[in-house]
Chain A
Amino acid sequence: MARPSWSRAWQLLGAARRGSSYGTGDSLGPGVSPPEPEKRPSSLTSALGAGSRQVPSKNVESFASMLRRSPLVQMGPAKDKIVLGQIFHIVEDDLYIDFGGKFHCVCKRPEVDGEKYQKGSRVRLRLVDLELTSRFLGGKTDTTLLEADAVLLGLLESREIRQKE
């Protein structure tokens, strides 16, 4: 399988996206796909292959094209991206927030408006990492914490234009 060329193609795509204007004020809710300009060099399309093209007659999207259009991939590196999350579990002061990635993140309840953070509240986060892993001395594989890392910025303001789920 041409896995090395695939991963390199993804990195090139990521570099192209990062080059385009991507302000830090971008908010992505889970499941939202922002409109993306279709400026992709021809070499990349040939590298990505036939699997990424949609078949309009059958109206069934291929996995590769779904992946390419997904918010997770369009976002690029997770560092310092603003996303929306939803609190799904609370243990006293710890808020377990799901923002659409593989793992949830755990944040401390802030002092400001502390009691407003309940199960189901929508919050704004600044991501640090999608999965906390690290290779320790003597380890064959990375040790993972099964958690993402994010900074809680505050509640989602209801006056803002709500993005559809």
Chain B
Amino acid sequence: SFSPLSVVPRFRCLGSLGKAAPSTSQLSSRLYGTLLAPEANQQLITEPLRHPDFFNVKELFSLKELFDARVHLGHKKGCRHGFMEPYIFGCRLDQDIIDLDQTMKHLQLALNFTAHVAYRKGIILFISRNRQFGHLVEVTARDCGEYAHTRYWQGGLLTNAHIQYGTGIRLPDLLIFISTLNNVFEPHVAIRDAAKMNIPTVGVVDTNCNPSIITYPIPGNDDSPLAVELYCRLFKMTITRAKNKRKQMEVLYGLQNKGGGDGNAGSHLSSVQV
């Protein structure tokens, strides 16, 4: 679960999240690109932003895979949330069917965003209050080197972090909700709190969930084990891929700097994929 002690090694205050002490902001600019020259560092950060799908997340999943994992199955018509109606394909014998064409698009956007956050060394927090998959989510988070919170959410975890855990705490840069509801079928408090703290959220929304405040909603089934295993696998692959890409790019730019030549930078990068 998300414990403050595990955050300390990555001690960097981002100015947009809470009040950063003046001394730490200077520290952060120094720590940000420790071994690279400023121009190379700048290109390292901006290069992925030039491509619509830099990490090629499209190839990680297919329509058939989503279908076989029962991602299109929703709850009964009576459980439907009004705001989910645009994402629903139809209603078959009282059971809502989610439109997988839309899910594909949303999933691609969400995975792309997750990859970019992981590439930039952001902290990702997995949240799921579904007891059936709590362990799976925690294992997924551990395997990709990120964090998970699958227990009771204390009120001030995000909004009162500086008082509860001390000043200069670094908050997560992305929240991934495997299930956006808590145990009483209400929206998870963290959705609202993340919106308050300007933290982007990615969330799997079922037909009984409210997708409004979530930054990158993924309409899909969050109750079947096959579907949840698929999501966990996809997020793990994306984050791992993005982190490996980052290491690759740092090596590339590190060699570039040592070599002294920066003329081949653009062509070299465009040929490197995956």
Contact present for B89 and A102 (CB under 8 Å): no
Q: Are A102 and B79 in contact (CB under 8 A)?
A: no
A73 beta carbon closer than 8 Å to chain B: yes
Distance (whole angstroms) from the CB of B134 to the closest CB of chain A: 15
* Other-chain residue from A31, A66, A135, A143 in contact with B63 (beta carbon distance below 8 A): A66
Task: Kindly list chain B residues whose C-beta atoms are within 8 Å of the C-beta of A133.
Answer: 75-76, 78-79
Whether B155 is near chain A, meaning CB under 8 Å from some CB there, is: no
Does B67 lie within 8 Å of A131, measured CB to CB? no
Question: Which of B28-36, B90-98, B141-149, B166-174 lies at the interface?
Answer: B90-98
**Size band of the B side of the interface?**
20 to 34
Given contacts A63-B67, A63-B99, A101-B73, A7 and B90 within 8 Å (CB-CB): yes
Is B221 on the interface with A (CB-CB < 8 A)? yes
| B95/A130 in contact, CB under 8 A | yes
CA distance A98 to B75 in the complex (A): 17
Task: Give chain B's interface secondary structure class.
Answer: mixed
Q: Residue-by-residue, is B62-101 near A (CB-CB < 8 Å gives 1, otherwise 0)? A: 0110011010111110111100011011111101010111
Within 8 Å of chain B (Cβ to Cβ): is A14? Answer: yes
When distances are taken between beta carbons in the complex, the residues of chain B under 8 Å from A26 are none
A61 adjacent to chain B (CB < 8 Å): yes
Question: Assuming the A-B contacts A102-B70, A135-B78, are A10 and B221 also in contact, with contact meaning beta carbons closer than 8 angstroms in the complex?
Answer: no
Q: Is there a chain B Cβ closer than 8 Å to A50's Cβ?
A: no
With contacts A3-B85, A133-B76, A144-B76 taken as known, whether A102 is within 8 angstroms of B63 at the C-beta atoms is no
Q: Which residue of B63, B75, B85 is within 8 Å of A144 (Cβ)?
A: B75
Nearest A residue to B221, CB-CB: A102
Name A97-149 residues within 8 Å CB distance of B. 98, 100-103, 130-131, 133, 135, 141-144, 146
Alpha-carbon distance A88/B74, docked complex (angstroms): 22
Q: Is the CB of A76 within 8 A of B93?
A: yes
Residue pairs across A and B with CB atoms within 8 Å: the count is 82
Q: Does A1 contact B (CB under 8 A)?
A: yes
Contacts of B72 in A (CB 8 A): 63, 67
The answer, yes or no, to whether B140 is at the interface (CB within 8 Å) is: no
**Nearest CB on B from A158, distance (A):** 26
- Inter-chain contacts of A10 with B (CB < 8 A): 90-93
- Does B223 lie at the interface of the complex (its beta carbon under 8 Å from any beta carbon of A)? yes
Chain A residues with CB under 8 A of B100: 63
A43 to chain B, nearest CB (A): 17
B108 CB, min distance to chain A CBs, angstroms:
15
Do A61 and B64 have beta carbons less than 8 Å apart? yes
Chain B, residues 204-242, CB within 8 Å of chain A (1/0): the string is: 000010000000000001011100000000000000000
Chain B residues proximal to chain A, CB less than 8 Å:
63-64, 67-68, 70, 72-76, 78-81, 85-86, 88-93, 95, 97, 99-101, 185, 208, 221, 223-225
Extra contacts, 5 of them, besides A10-B93, A102-B221, A141-B80 (Cβ < 8 A), are A7-B90, A63-B72, A63-B99, A76-B93, A135-B78
